[in-house]
Structure 1
Amino acid sequence: MTSDPVKQAQGVQSVEIGSRLLAALAANGKSMMLRDLAKSVGMPASKAHRYLVSFVRMGLVEQDANTGRYALGHFALTLGLASLARIEPVSLATPILEDLCEEIGETVALAVWGTNGATCVRCIEATGPVTVTLRTGIVLPLTTTATGRVFAAFYQSPLLKKVLDAELGVAAKAGKTTQMALMREFEERLTEIRCRGIARASGGFAPGINGFSAPVFDHTGSMVAAIMSGGTIGHFNMEWDSSLALCVKEAATKLSIRLGYGYANAGELRN
């Protein structure tokens, strides 16, 4: 086994020691007194203070003039946002999708909002005797598929409303009803999806196919993708509290956290 070249290289020990204070502030999530901050990293307060003076000058840390408490500064925020901007959901999703596929034994996929709607961009097919086949590039209807519904419930885009209106218009003509009536019915469905944090559909993608889909959020709290799974009716459990549903939600939560969505907010997705 080859050793990590980064760990082998000579570094600046004082930087590594001082960074423990920054890590403690980030983990704590709120401002801290010097004594508490120093204690949390096992460092004498006088030593911690010297590091903090430099960090304040750099903008990595700020100190409240009234309380004396320390918190992460504007430059730390700039660095964090720059790192988050480099994150690409599809590449981060791949190992999560692989684990999910292995855990539930069903085909799984990642969808994002493309130029024409909710679009499958990554798919991992299960290896069982009867599996659902998805192809990348396919656009999923908003009203009849689990992934379409979860985008309709959580995604914010002017284009989404246009696509939804067009789908409901076609459905209204086919069903000899009004578009307004269908919209009221669909809004009730979306309310349930928002409450449960996951969408389901049966036969919407293809006859005989059930599916679940859960939203993925980024560091701004915006939906950026959906993790979905599909299987055959009679084999794929469609109960809201089934192990399949819970696994899909958990996978979406993991990816949301990787994309910078806060742990407190991510906890809401599990409920």
Structure 2
Amino acid sequence: MAEQDAQTADQGAKVSGGVRPLTTALKTLELLNFFSNQSSPTRLADVARENGLSRATAYQRLITLVEAGWLDQDTNGAYRLTMFATRLAAAALEQADLGTRVEPVLGRLANRINETVSLAVIDRGLPCIVARVEVNTPLRAEQRIGTFLSLDGSASGRVLCAFAQEHALEHLRAGAHSLPSEETMQKVREDGFAVSSGYTHSGVIGLAVPVFDAHQKIVAAVSLVQPEGRFDLALTKAPMIEAATEISTLLQGTKDRK
């Protein structure tokens, strides 16, 4: 049997304030996650097979999502997400901006390594700090939210360039700012992190690791900047990578729901 009926499935549903969620609605919405991982429109038979559904059940859920505006069909009859999804994504970013969402993770990271940490994204062709959590260390680099960094010289810039998709990298190359050398970017890809040159801010060294979305596209970089005398890659690399992975999971919407 491809699936339980709604009454049986409801027995396993969570209860919130004495009210159970609509299991049929949850199962229909699960198809949105399926489509978010497809690179091209998908036909009914493939949707049914890959989700363990009968063709009739798959079709009912698909037309429900079509009627709600989430899916449409191409000229060959295959199903695909509509641009309605982008409207909700934009609204989500507006209602709870990236910095706000990741601040708790950055806070735990800062406390763990006792260093000020930041999150940077590409904005107008340069890395820009959009979130920051400070700790009271004797010496720290002053990089406020909204600070723009170097593509070539900063650790964040090197990570954001190294893991950028080719079309995004070409766009950056066409801009007015110097990019890291191909040798530098290749090393960053191999290492999975970047260390800054130190020449943009004398006496300090930066470390940055990538944050990816659900399609493994880089969206941000978690970074720290330390005085050279305090910099210790062995102590900070693992916590930084763990925090970046947690942020990636959060942004991908795959965090376990309790």
Distance in 2, matches of 1:54 and 1:120, equals: 45
Quote how far apart the aligned CAs of 1:258 are: 1.6
Higher helix proportion, which one? 1
Q: Secondary structure at the match of 1:95?
A: helix
Instruction: Give, as a single letter, the amino acid of the residue that structure 2 aligns with 1:117.
Output: L
Runs of 4+ in 1 over 3 A off after TM superposition: 17-30, 49-57, 77-85
Distance 1:57 1:138, change over 3 A: closer
Whether 2:98 is the aligned partner of 1:98: answer: no
Residue of structure 1 in register with 2:52 after alignment: 32
Q: Secondary structure at the match of 1:167?
A: coil
Quote how far apart the aligned CAs of 1:51 are: 8.2
User: Is 1:101–1:108's contact at 8 Å kept on the other side of the alignment?
Assistant: yes
Deviation readout 1:50-108 (Å, 9 max, x if unpaired): 98786455249xxxxxxxxxxxx867x88876654424422212111111111111111
Residue of structure 2 in register with 1:65 after alignment: none
Whether 2:213 is the aligned partner of 1:218: answer: yes
Deviation readout 1:119-157 (Å, 9 max, x if unpaired): 122222221233332222222112221111112212325
Instruction: Give, as a single letter, the amino acid of the residue that structure 1 aligns with 2:129.
Output: C
User: Is 1:201–1:211's contact at 8 Å kept on the other side of the alignment?
Assistant: yes
Q: Secondary structure at the match of 2:230?
A: coil
Distance in 2, matches of 1:18 and 1:261, equals: 20
Q: Report % sequence identity.
A: 25
Q: How does 1:98-247 map to 2 (within 5 A)?
A: 98-155=107-164, 156-163=168-175, 166-167=177-178, 186-238=181-233, 242-247=234-239
Q: What TM-score comes out, normalization by structure 1 length?
A: 0.62
**Count of aligned pairs between the two proteins:** 208
Distance in 2, matches of 1:53 and 1:134, equals: 53
Q: Is there any run of 5+ residues in structure 2 with no aligned partner, and where? A: 1-14, 38-49, 67-78
Quote how far apart the aligned CAs of 1:233 are: 1.3
RMSD: 3.6
Distance in 2, matches of 1:147 and 1:109, equals: 9
Q: What TM-score comes out, normalization by structure 2 length?
A: 0.65
Distance 1:149 1:74, change over 3 A: closer
Instruction: Give, as a single letter, the amino acid of the residue that structure 1 aligns with 2:64.
Output: M
Instruction: Give, as a single letter, the amino acid of the residue that structure 2 aligns with 1:128.
Output: T
Structure (1 or 2) with the larger CA radius of gyration: 1
